[in-house]
Amino acid sequence: MSTPKLSTRPLKGTRDFYPEDMRLRNWFFGKIREALELCAFEEYNGPMLEPLEIYAAKSGVELASEQTYNFTDRGGRELSIRPEMTPTVARMVAARINELTFPLRWYSVQNFYRYERPQRGRLREFWQINADIFGSDSYEADFEIISVAINLLRIFGADESMFRVHINNRRLFGDVIASVAKTDAEGVKAISKVIDRREKIERVEYENELRMLGLGDAEITKIDSLYSMSLDEIISLCPDSKGAAELGELFRTLEATGLSKYCVFDFGIIRGLDYYTGTVFEVFDLAPENNRAMFGGGRYDNLVGLFVERNDISGVGFGLGDVTLENFLRTHNLIPDLGGRTLVLVTRFDDVPYEKYTAILSNLRNAGIAAMIFFGSKKLGKQLEYASKAGCTHAIIMGAGELAGGVVKIKDLGTREEQVVEYSRIAKYFGK
Amino acid sequence: MSTPKLSTRPLKGTRDFYPEDMRLRNWFFGKIREALELCAFEEYNGPMLEPLEIYAAKSGVELASEQTYNFTDRGGRELSIRPEMTPTVARMVAARINELTFPLRWYSVQNFYRYERPQRGRLREFWQINADIFGSDSYEADFEIISVAINLLRIFGADESMFRVHINNRRLFGDVIASVAKTDAEGVKAISKVIDRREKIERVEYENELRMLGLGDAEITKIDSLYSMSLDEIISLCPDSKGAAELGELFRTLEATGLSKYCVFDFGIIRGLDYYTGTVFEVFDLAPENNRAMFGGGRYDNLVGLFVERNDISGVGFGLGDVTLENFLRTHNLIPDLGGRTLVLVTRFDDVPYEKYTAILSNLRNAGIAAMIFFGSKKLGKQLEYASKAGCTHAIIMGAGELAGGVVKIKDLGTREEQVVEYSRIAKYFGK
């Protein structure tokens, strides 16, 4: 009795899903799966472990090492526990590039690991839905992805008072910055890195960094003014930008399809600097107590090109995590009562053969009614007590007398009422 | 264009699940989930990473290190990627031991990693169903677990010609060996280790090892004879063994419930030596080309005791892997055609506003019909070609003429027949 006991707690940043937690996760992921299948997305899955190099090739070794669980296996391979899905799916698309029919519409629901400081909304193990369209350059694919993202919140009953999709375009963003700062692509990249941290650093630091990149007061003021401009005003700065055309068409279509009430143009949305190339978006929770970006996505080019000699397969997609989704649903009271299914306990007496009870059990299960049998021999009162504690809605009671009469008693554990039911009509009692 | 390309292959021993693979896995795990829910099992889930010590505590450091992916994280913690579910579920049960209602009936469907030499039926990443009952010592829980295991194959249409459950009892096994070899628990353990390798080592080596443990020719011959004895004959050797009573009751109940045709007593079934304590079983595929143990399980005690001061919570359960299940289903032709769902492509012309098409798309999806829209502008022939390649069953065609007339054309891509359908009756056409 003196062996020291092991900790019962899950690793920091990971979670145990007890049946009630799992019921919730299965419910919301189930609804999302169903909605994505109706939108003609097909589910795929990849391995939990990948070579570190596929993350390094996408994000650079430093970034890929920073928050990723990496280790060397017995064969000397440098491996990562996947921190995200995109490199895996790009690899899978590349592997069958000549057999697949594009555009592809794929989704997955999987767990990921990141070595982060655990905090509200951020855990080390999380689950994420990833949905992507590969092989269409059209703004229509961007529209489809954004409308699917909106739909995934609407199926839970969320409306425009609860969330807003902030949309920008990286091509337009780059062209506008280039024209304001009179610089080239390299210059835009350097400036963007500073601008991206605009809300996170002190104003004086922000201005200093921009000055070090050659910007004067006029340009800095001009950049400030971009953030209060309407989409039309921004577009008028670079009317010939391909990004202007894409974003214009996208907003026109959102308007025409009644989705614009969920959306807003936001020049401040940039997202992964080295990654996104066209439309980018982030979905914000509008609840004052939870006001934050819940998830986002956008268009990226050439990821498939890391694996094969092709540069014509671009992708557009998003990733939605279980923790943020659950926070959102809780904040807006969008989680219904998930109990409510029928669950029957078959109770037993010692003077009736056991197989008489297992026959009832099989009949219930075959009729589609969830059922279990009491193990061991205890007084009926104890068996009914267990039934209630274990979440059963009904108990079936059959003593020698009932058995002889071809009936059972069915007790409703909610109302405590008992009813005598013919043996052959048990399933009927439960509406089956 | 000269950057060296990354490999498109998944890590050795892991698999990519393309949509057709995923459809298969979702189909068989979906059926199993449904069956387990009807048997009143509840789904739980645990983290992919656990402290190495929980595997070491169960199986010893050596065994826990041998085939497990272990590494040290940035916080200096020794972690394992889970190679099995039992330590996690024991930890979870222990953590809420005072709140949970026993017996518990829990299942999970998760992926696991083992560093094995990849071969038929054995991969480094595999998926597994685990189902367990915690907190009942009764043979009835053993019976329930075995009948659930049988049921999980029967729901796919498998019958007694396709599989057989080989059953033994570790308590009975130990008592019989003790009586034959006239030894104590330590002696039984040493002898069992040799006997367990009976089929794997040379006969002369087998006999030598037993002689080194003090057995003579008479005992060795006697042990040989055990393997051809019936259950009654074995029980008659140790009629007072608790294991004899358990196994007797179990087989009596299998007989009375009509399940004995799926089952056979097999003194050769031992399973994990330091782990199982009562009933043990293995399910064999009877197909000559695939004759092997597919999965198994049994009763284990005191795992929860690694975490909390309790020794009264025993468990009985089994684990069934996706690879062996798929092999079994394929071998016996039990996989139906998994296609067959309706999938509609909404085609488009440039002279009709885009939102007229997205309206059709929304209506289809809202009616529960999977649908997508063609991206970009191509000739109708090209759009229909894409539809067929992408697995669509129908295409909706609406030019300016149809739009004006309030109709669409629906083309069945199987029969190539077209039908003009009123706009308001599109869902009806698809039976919705």
Reported as a single tens digit per residue, the pLDDT across B79-136 is 999 999 999 999 999 999 999 999 999 999 999 999 987 777 679 999 999 999 999 9
Residues B195 and B278 occupy one common structural domain: yes
Q: Per-residue confidence at A81, pLDDT binned at 50, 70, 90?
A: very high
Q: Do B300 and B252 lie in a common domain?
A: yes
Between positions 10 and 29 of A, the ones with CB within 8 A of B are 10-12, 14-19, 21-23, 25-26
**Residue B259: which of B133, B160, B330 has the closest Cα?**
B160
Q: Please report whether residue A6 resides in a domain.
A: no
Last residue of a domain, one of A331, A363, A381: A331
Write the CATH number for A368.
3.40.50.800
Q: Is residue A12 part of a domain?
A: no
| CB-CB contact of B371 with B345 (8 Å) | yes
Q: Please tell me the least confidently modeled range out of A119-128, A399-408, B173-182, B257-266.
A: A119-128
Are B67 and B83 in contact, with CB atoms under 8 Å apart? yes
Which positions in chain A touch B314 (Cβ < 8 Å)? none
* Alpha-carbon span B193 to B212, nearest angstrom: 13
Residues A141 and A257 in one domain: yes
Would B104 be classed as within a structural domain?
A: yes
Give the mutation candidate from B7, B45, B101 for the A interface (greatest A CB count, under 10 A): B45
B95: which 2 tokens? 């953590």
| pLDDT confidence tier of residue A407, bands split at 50, 70 and 90 | very high
Mean pLDDT estimate for chain A = 94
How far apart are the C-alpha atoms of B422 and B419, rounded to whole Å? 10
**Residue B5 at interface with chain A, using a CB cutoff of 8 Å:** yes
* B117 and A CB contact within 8 Å: no
Q: What is the pLDDT of residue A340?
A: 76
Residue A311 sits in the same domain as residue A356: no
pLDDT in tens, A330-340: 999 999 999 77
Clarify whether residues B310 and B349 are in a common domain: no
Instruction: Tell me which DSSP letter residue A7 carries.
Output: P
Determine the average pLDDT of the residues in A30-47. 97
Residue spans of alpha helices (H) in B41-104: 52-59, 61-66, 86-95
A96 and A226 housed in the same domain: yes
* Token pair for A187: 């210059």
Give the Cα separation of A382 and A347 in Å (integer).
10
The answer to whether residue B368 neighbours chain A at the CB level (below 8 Å) is yes
Residues sharing a CB contact under 8 Å with residue B398, sequence separation 6 or more, in sequence order: B347, B348, B349, B352, B356, B357, B360, B407, B408, B409
Residue-wise pLDDT for A223-255, tens only, equals 999 999 999 999 999 999 999 999 999 999 999
A contacts of B83 (beta carbons < 8 Å): none
Domain identity same for A106 and A197: yes
**End-of-domain residue from the set A331, A363, A394:** A331
Q: Which domain holds residue B403?
A: 343-429
* First and final C-alpha spacing in chain A: 51
Give the best residue of B25, B26, B38, B78 to mutate against chain A (max A CB count within 10 A): B38
> Hey, of B8, B105, B142, B155, which one would you mutate to test binding to chain A, going by the most A CBs within 10 A of its CB?
B8
Task: Give CA–CA dist B238/B182, Å, rounded.
Answer: 13
Instruction: Please indicate, yes or no, if residue A55 is contained in any of the structural domains.
Output: no
Would you state the pLDDT for residue B290? 82
Interface check B53 vs A, CB under 8 A: yes
Note whether A406 contacts B: Cβ–Cβ < 8 A: no
Nearest to B344 by CA among B367, B371, B362: B371
Query: How many other CB atoms sit within 10 Å of the CB of residue B403?
Result: 17
Instruction: Select the residue of A42, A91, A370 nearest B38 (Cβ to Cβ).
Output: A370
Contact assessment for residue A283 and residue A259, using Cβ atoms and an 8 Å cutoff: no
Q: Does the residue A14 lie in any domain?
A: no
Per-residue model confidence (pLDDT) at position B59: 79
- A359: closest chain B residue by CA: B257
Give the list of residues 6+ apart from residue B79 with CB closer than 8 angstroms, or none: A11, B49, B50, B51, B52, B70, B71, B72, B73
CATH of the domain at B93: 3.30.930.10
Is-contact A304 A94, C-beta < 8 A?
yes
Q: What does the pLDDT read at residue A1? A: 45
Tell whether A261 and A367 lie within a shared domain. no
Closest alpha carbon within chain A to B37: A370
**What is the number of domains present in chain A?**
2
Q: What CA–CA distance (Å, rounded) separates B410 from A307?
A: 40
B318 to A48, B230, B299, B346: CA distances (angstroms): 24, 25, 9, 47
B401: left (phi over 0), alpha (psi -120 to 50) or beta: alpha
Which single residue is written with the structure tokens 């990833």? A130
Q: How many CB pairs under 8 A join A and B?
A: 242
Taking the C-alpha atoms of residue A43 and residue A45, their distance in angstroms, rounded to an integer, is 7
Q: How far apart are CA A132 and CA A46, in angstroms?
A: 14
B266 and B376 fall within a common domain: no
Q: Per-residue confidence of chain B (432 residues) as pLDDT tens digits?
A: 456 899 999 999 999 999 999 999 999 999 999 999 999 999 999 999 999 999 998 877 777 888 899 999 988 999 999 999 999 999 999 999 999 999 999 999 999 999 987 777 679 999 999 999 999 999 999 999 999 999 999 999 999 999 999 999 999 999 999 999 999 989 999 999 999 888 889 999 999 999 999 999 999 999 999 999 999 999 999 999 999 999 999 999 999 999 999 999 999 999 877 789 999 999 999 999 888 899 999 999 888 999 999 988 999 999 999 999 999 999 999 999 997 789 999 999 999 999 999 999 999 999 999 999 999 999 999 999 999 999 999 999 999 999 999 999 999 999 999 999 999 999 999 999
Give contacts of B 291-310 with A, CB under 8 A: 306-309
Taking an 8 Å cut-off on Cβ atoms, the answer to whether A53 and B353 are in contact is: no
Which position has the higher pLDDT, A61 or A317? A317
CB contact under 8 A, B306 and A6: yes
Cβ contact, residue pair B308, A105, below 8 Å: no
| Residues B305 and B223 occupy one common structural domain | yes
No. of H helices and E strands in chain A?
A: 16, 16
Helices (H), A311-424: 322-331, 354-366, 380-389, 400-405
Cβ within 8 Å of B, A 54-83: 54, 57, 69, 71, 73-75, 77, 79, 81
Does residue A167 surpass a pLDDT of 90? yes
Strand-pairing partners, residue B51, are B79
Q: Which residue of A has its CA nearest to B257?
A: A355
**Biggest CA-to-CA distance, chain B:** 97
Q: What gap in Å lies between CA A276 and CA A297, rounded to an integer?
A: 9
pLDDT digits (tens, 9 = 90+) for A368-385: 999 999 999 999 999 999
How wide is the angle at C-alpha B223 spanned by C-alphas B218 and B228, nearest 5°?
Answer: 125
Q: Is the pLDDT of residue A360 over 70?
A: yes
Residues in chain B closer than 8 A to A73 (CB atoms): 69, 115
Among A265, A297, A331, where does a domain finish?
Answer: A331
Residues A276 and A300 in one domain: yes
Q: What's CA B290's distance to the chain center, in Å?
A: 17
* pLDDT at res. B274: 77
**Residue B275 forms contact with A (CB below 8 Å):** no
Q: Is B371 part of a structural domain of the chain?
A: yes
In a domain, A71, yes or no: no
Q: In this structure, is residue B157 part of a structural domain?
A: yes
The whole-number pLDDT of residue B60 equals 77
Please measure the distance between the N-terminal and C-terminal CA atoms of chain B and give it in whole angstroms. 51
Give SS3 for A217.
Answer: helix
A262-276, A353-367, B123-137, B384-398: which range is least confident on average? A262-276
Chain A segment 154-213 residues within 8 A of B by beta carbon are none
Work out the percent of chain A whose per-residue pLDDT is above 90: 88
Q: What pLDDT does A286 receive?
A: 96
Rounded to whole angstroms, the Cα distance separating B294 from B283 reads 6
Hey, what are B381's tokens? 């022939």
B234 with B360, same domain? no
Q: What is the DSSP letter of B128?
A: E
Helix or strand holding residue B278 (H, E): strand B276-285
Q: What is the pLDDT of residue A302?
A: 80
Phi-psi category of residue B391: left, alpha or beta, with phi > 0 → left and psi -120 to 50 → alpha? left
Structure token digits, residue B387: 């539809």
